[in-house]
Chains A and B, each alone.
Chain A
Amino acid sequence: GQQVMQIPQYQHVQEGEDFTTYCNSSTTLSNIQWYKQRPGGHPVFLIQLVKSGEVKKQKRLTFQFGEAKKNSSLHITATQTTDVGTYFCAGLPGNAGGTSYGKLTFGQGTILTVHP
């Protein structure tokens, strides 16, 4: 079955340093989504990537979707203490579409700690 792997599991950075988390799927994805979970909270949607090679930016966050639609990355420039939390990628299988919502599979998440 579809597996989504995410690395690293933990990342500790000093405020102002950059941060990157990587996501790899065992199968081709129709799209990939990224979520952020603050400590003690629930996952909140950040962005969705659909097209092969797509790159999207949200302020200091840059999201990429690989050409083969099997991998993705999230890069944060100049981290701030407000970036603390767990970042998850989530993939929908390549055959999802039409009236099928598909099996939304999450990676293990990367726990980001930012030291002031």
Chain B
Amino acid sequence: DGGITQSPKYLFRKEGQNVTLSCEQNLNHDAMYWYRQDPGQGLRLIYYSQIVNDFQKGDIAEGYSVSREKKESFPLTVTSAQKNPTAFYLCASRGDTNTEAFFGQGTRLTVV
């Protein structure tokens, strides 16, 4: 059953702690993306990767880090430097240069 999986669905962390969000896909897609969604602000691009071992900053990369050691996996770390980390985080992948993005179910992160 092919798809893109994010875990966990809900995540709670204390302020000042780093937290890593998981994103795994078995679609054999080269490109993967991380977006942040806040009410009324749509989807803002954090990082994206077009190939293994390479990634680029999006529009709001400060306070976040990523890695792309395997084609299937693109984890996102929300560091303590991110001032407002509470948000809904969406991971997506694309399989070809002219095709649509497939999204995971999202992780809702709450920092208290």
Interface residue ranges, A against B (CB under 8 Å): 1, 6, 9, 31, 33, 35, 41-45, 48, 50, 88, 90, 96-109
Contact (Cβ within 8 A) B94 A106: no
Contact (Cβ within 8 A) A103 B90: no
Contact (Cβ within 8 A) B42 A107: yes
Contact (Cβ within 8 A) A98 B102: no
Interface residue ranges, B against A (CB under 8 Å): 30-31, 33, 35, 40-45, 48, 50, 56, 58-59, 90, 92, 94, 97-106
What is the CB-to-nearest-CB distance from A90 to chain B, in angstroms, rounded to a whole number? Answer: 7
Q: Which of A35, A45, A100, A107 contacts B50 (CB 8 A)?
A: A100
Number of A-B residue pairs with CB-CB distance less than 8 Å in the complex they form: 67
Q: Which of B33, B40, B41, B104 contacts A104 (CB 8 A)?
A: B33
Closest to B56 in A: A103
